[in-house]
């Protein structure tokens, strides 16, 4: 390729321009702000549980937890008012002479001394520095032995370092920060995600109390409490098995639902992508069960419908990225047993003993395994035919427009952190009809966004067995596109987004898809992978400005702002939005509504209520809510 100016090739021009002035070194603050994904994963607006604003909060609280683990401070106070966050612990407090360094000098901290922080989470001195650099305002105060020291920053730059002063406050550290909205655009906190974050800290640190905006979080029974919160008593097949040892704790049960559901932790860190400890647990559990029952059950039958949590304490853990979502450590400590042997030996000893002492539980577990075995064999022939049909359907050409990065790909190379960041952004939009899928396909980011096109309305699968997933072509092709036929761990996209028209038919399709996921793949919903795409209902514009509105209230505000009878367009379907416009609503200005299961919610009762036969309770619900809507319309009419 030649340039128009001098006929020089692009390669030659780059070589000419490549001088000493081309080389620059970024300081720690500049690098974090330039590549935030390397430090906190994806940015996001708070709709996803692994969005950056939750990682910022986690990085600050992690330091409080490390103090608690060392025996200093049993309480952490967290306040979130709008977009301002305050975290106060009652540990030893940062040494006063190092307050500024600890939050603003990279590779500075006490955790390099393994004697002081043998089994902490953060070992690389980055955490609070990243929070500081990515905050519009950051303030840190240390209270220590009757004295206090404060420093304030803006976007990582020191604004003021206050002199030491006397205080009557108890020892500890207080951090107050406001995430930078130029980095985290239109962010908000989802209460359910905060609940999970705080509860996980308490489950893994017995006796720790977290006070958040007046709500108290505390756990006395560790992972047993976690599984009791994550499951429903009516849906588990036997009482939760809870086992504890030195540096390891597990909780196990089987449910009526399909799939495998795991919660894994390292040194109090929720490893959402698992790692060596979870792999060791899954393998060790199968081995122990086979030996106990003296039968070579298929691994999928043993683990089918399992819900389990595993937590280990590791000296100087090695994670596969700065966000610490996947453990890479092969040993528990230097010179110690392999992770596989450590976890496997614990299960082989403690789980085996438990099953011998509790024959009723052992029998219930055996029945669940044998039920899985029967169902697998019944499905074997159907699955083979379904797989052949999927190949003939030419899935990747006709139904699926794929993307480059996938959630479960193994990243490698020097750009590993960037690839991990892209994987977390990997999204599949499930659409209905050629016009909607066409608009999204033209507007999408081909690196991270895939499109799956449905043909017509899906089947209402409530009350049906998993046999229908293979017999129904749409469901069969969808599970192949998601790569979840063999289990949740094969999921190819971090975000599954249902994108339907905002009309009655679109809402119906949305309900049918959610029924499919809750009925057969509930772990996708429970682990925060399923979303609803919100798109604007109205476009209000004049010659100077265009405003997109998502409801009547926003439309009225836009009309008032623009004045002089602006043009108002009502979007009836996704296909009516041009690809150029659509690009905004699935990228920079995307609004996602997470599908969240409330804790203790009974899936079968939920589906029966909404998707079962027309019950009097559902009729009353519809009538009551219709009356509310009519009252609101009448109020607006009077006000107008």
Q: What is the mean pLDDT of the chain?
A: 83
pLDDT digits (tens, 9 = 90+) for 392-421: 665 555 688 899 888 877 777 667 767 777
- At 396 the pLDDT is 57
pLDDT digits (tens, 9 = 90+) for 414-436: 677 677 777 888 999 999 877 77
465 shares a domain with 348: no
Tracing tokens 């949590």 back to the chain, one arrives at 309
Long-range contacts of residues 348-356, Cβ cutoff 8 Å, at least 24 apart: 348/284, 348/287, 348/288, 348/291, 350/243, 350/245, 351/241, 351/243, 351/250, 351/252, 351/285, 351/288, 351/292, 352/288, 352/291, 352/292, 354/241, 354/243, 355/292, 356/292
CATH code for the domain in which residue 415 is found: 3.40.50.670
- At 615 the pLDDT is 63
In a domain, 387, yes or no: no
- At 312 the pLDDT is 93
CA 500 – CA 360 distance, rounded (Å): 47
372 shares a domain with 493: no
pLDDT digits (tens, 9 = 90+) for 33-45: 888 877 887 788 8
Q: How far is CA 96 from CA 102, 105, 163, in A?
A: 10, 15, 10
pLDDT band at 622, cuts 50/70/90?
low
177 shares a domain with 112: yes
Q: Which domain holds residue 359?
A: 223-376
- At 3 the pLDDT is 37
206 shares a domain with 353: no
pLDDT digits (tens, 9 = 90+) for 430-483: 998 777 788 888 889 999 999 999 888 888 888 888 888 888 888 988 998 999
Q: Where are the alpha helices (DSSP H) in 275-331?
A: 276-293, 299-303
- At 457 the pLDDT is 86
Query: What angle do helix axes 276-293 and 359-392 make, rounded to 10 degrees?
Result: 120
407 shares a domain with 295: no
pLDDT band at 178, cuts 50/70/90?
very high
- Would you give the DSSP letter of residue 574? G
Q: What percent of the chain has pLDDT over 70?
A: 84
111 shares a domain with 236: no
352: nearest Cα among 431, 427, 269, 284: 284
Please count the CA atoms within 13 angstroms of the CA of 384 that sit on its side-chain side: 5
- At 578 the pLDDT is 83
231 shares a domain with 188: no
Tracing tokens 């006490």 back to the chain, one arrives at 110
pLDDT band at 143, cuts 50/70/90?
very high
The dihedrals phi and psi of 81, each to the nearest 5 degrees, come to -120, 105
In a domain, 304, yes or no: yes
CA 138 – CA 159 distance, rounded (Å): 10
What's the distance, Cα to Cα, between the start and end of the chain in Å? 62
In a domain, 8, yes or no: no
206 shares a domain with 343: no
CA 247 – CA 510 distance, rounded (Å): 44
pLDDT digits (tens, 9 = 90+) for 542-560: 989 999 998 888 999 999 9
Please count the CA atoms within 13 angstroms of the CA of 261 that sit on its side-chain side: 25
Between 2 and 507, the higher pLDDT residue:
507
Q: How many domains does the chain have?
A: 3
Ranges 45-54, 116-125, 152-161, 322-331, most confident: 152-161
CATH code for the domain in which residue 174 is found: 3.30.565.10
Q: Is the pLDDT of residue 213 over 90?
A: yes
In a domain, 18, yes or no: no
300 shares a domain with 447: no
In a domain, 618, yes or no: no
585 shares a domain with 445: yes
In a domain, 492, yes or no: yes
Chosen domain end from 169, 199, 217: 217
180 shares a domain with 108: yes
In this structure, of 11-25, 62-76, 172-186, 417-431, the range with the lowest mean pLDDT score is 11-25
Provide the β-strand partners of residue 79.
Answer: 86
- At 170 the pLDDT is 94
Chosen domain end from 217, 249, 270: 217
Q: Is the pLDDT of residue 294 over 90?
A: yes
Indicate the SS3 state at residue 79. Answer: strand
In a domain, 95, yes or no: yes
**Length of the chain, in residues:** 640
In a domain, 289, yes or no: yes
169 shares a domain with 123: yes
CATH code for the domain in which residue 308 is found: 3.30.230.10
Chosen domain end from 194, 217, 240: 217
pLDDT digits (tens, 9 = 90+) for 3-27: 334 444 444 444 445 555 555 556 7
């Amino acid at each position: 390729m030649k340039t128009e100016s001098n006929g020089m090739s692009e390669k030659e021009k780059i070589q000419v321009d490549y001088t000493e002035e081309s080389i620059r070194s970024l300081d720690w603050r500049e690098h974090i702000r330039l590549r935030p994904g390397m430090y906190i994963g994806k940015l996001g607006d708070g709709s996803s549980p692994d969005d950056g604003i939750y990682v910022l909060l986690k990085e600050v609280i992690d330091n409080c937890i490390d103090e608690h683990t060392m025996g200093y401070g049993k309480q952490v106070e967290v306040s979130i008012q709008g977009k301002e966050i305050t975290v106060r612990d009652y540990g030893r407090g940062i040494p006063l002479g190092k307050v500024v360094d600890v939050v603003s000098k990279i590779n500075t901290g006490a955790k390099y001394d393994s004697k002081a922080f043998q089994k902490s989470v953060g070992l690389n001195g980055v955490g609070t520095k990243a929070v500081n650099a990515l905050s519009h305002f950051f303030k840190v105060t240390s209270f220590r032995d009757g004295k206090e020291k404060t420093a304030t920053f803006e976007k990582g730059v020191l604004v003021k370092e206050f002199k030491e002063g006397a205080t009557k406050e108890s020892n500890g550290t207080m951090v107050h920060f406001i995430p930078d909205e130029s980095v985290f655009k239109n962010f908000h906190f989802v209460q359910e995600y905060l609940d999970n974050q705080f509860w996980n800290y308490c489950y893994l640190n017995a006796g720790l109390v977290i006070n958040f905006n007046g709500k108290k979080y505390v756990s006395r029974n560790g992972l047993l409490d976690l599984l009791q919160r994550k499951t429903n008593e009516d849906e588990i097949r036997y009482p939760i098995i809870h086992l504890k040892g030195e540096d390891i704790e597990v909780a196990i049960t089987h449910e009526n639902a399909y799939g495998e559901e795991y919660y894994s932790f390292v040194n109090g860190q929720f490893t959402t992508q698992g790692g060596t400890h979870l792999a060791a647990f899954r393998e060790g559990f199968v081995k122990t069960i086979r030996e106990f029952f003296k039968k070579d059950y298929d691994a999928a039958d043993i683990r089918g419908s399992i819900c389990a949590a595993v937590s280990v304490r590791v000296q100087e853990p090695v994670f596969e990225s700065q966000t610490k979502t996947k453990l890479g450590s092969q040993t528990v400590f230097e010179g110690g047993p392999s992770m596989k042997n450590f976890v496997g030996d614990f299960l082989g000893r403690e789980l085996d003993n438990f099953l011998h002492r509790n024959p009723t539980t052992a029998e219930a577990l055996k029945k669940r395994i044998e039920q899985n075995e029967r169902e697998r064999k019944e499905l074997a022939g159907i699955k083979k035919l379904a797989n052949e049909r999927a190949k003939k359907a030419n899935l990747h050409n006709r139904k699926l427009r794929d993307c480059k990065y996938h959630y479960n790909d193994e990243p490698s190379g020097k750009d590993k952190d960037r690839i991990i960041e892209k994987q977390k952004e990997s999204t599949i939009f499930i659409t209905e009809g050629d016009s909607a899928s066409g608009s999204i396909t033209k507007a999408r980011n081909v690196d991270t966004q895939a499109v799956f096109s449905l043909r017509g309305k899906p089947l209402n699968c409530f009350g049906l067995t998993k046999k229908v997933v293979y017999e129904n072509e749409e469901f069969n092709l969808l599970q192949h596109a998601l790569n979840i036929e063999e289990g949740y761990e094969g999921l190819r996209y971090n975000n599954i987004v249902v994108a339907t028209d905002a009309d009655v038919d679109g809402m119906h399709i949305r309900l049918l898809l959610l029924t499919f996921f809750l009925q057969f793949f509930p772990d996708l919903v429970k682990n925060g992978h399923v979303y609803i795409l919100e798109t604007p209902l109205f476009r209000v514009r004049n010659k100077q400005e265009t405003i997109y509105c998502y409801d009547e209230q926003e439309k009225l505000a836009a009309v008032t702002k623009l004045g002089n009878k602006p043009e108002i367009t009502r979007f009836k379907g996704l296909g009516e939005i041009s690809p150029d416009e659509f690009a905004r609503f699935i990228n920079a200005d995307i609004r996602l509504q997470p599908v969240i299961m409330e804790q203790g919610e009974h899936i079968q009762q939920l589906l029966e209520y909404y998707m079962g036969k027309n019950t009097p309770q559902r009729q009353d619900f519809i009538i009551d809510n219709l009356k509310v809507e009519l009252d609101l319309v009448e109020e607006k009419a009077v006000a107008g």
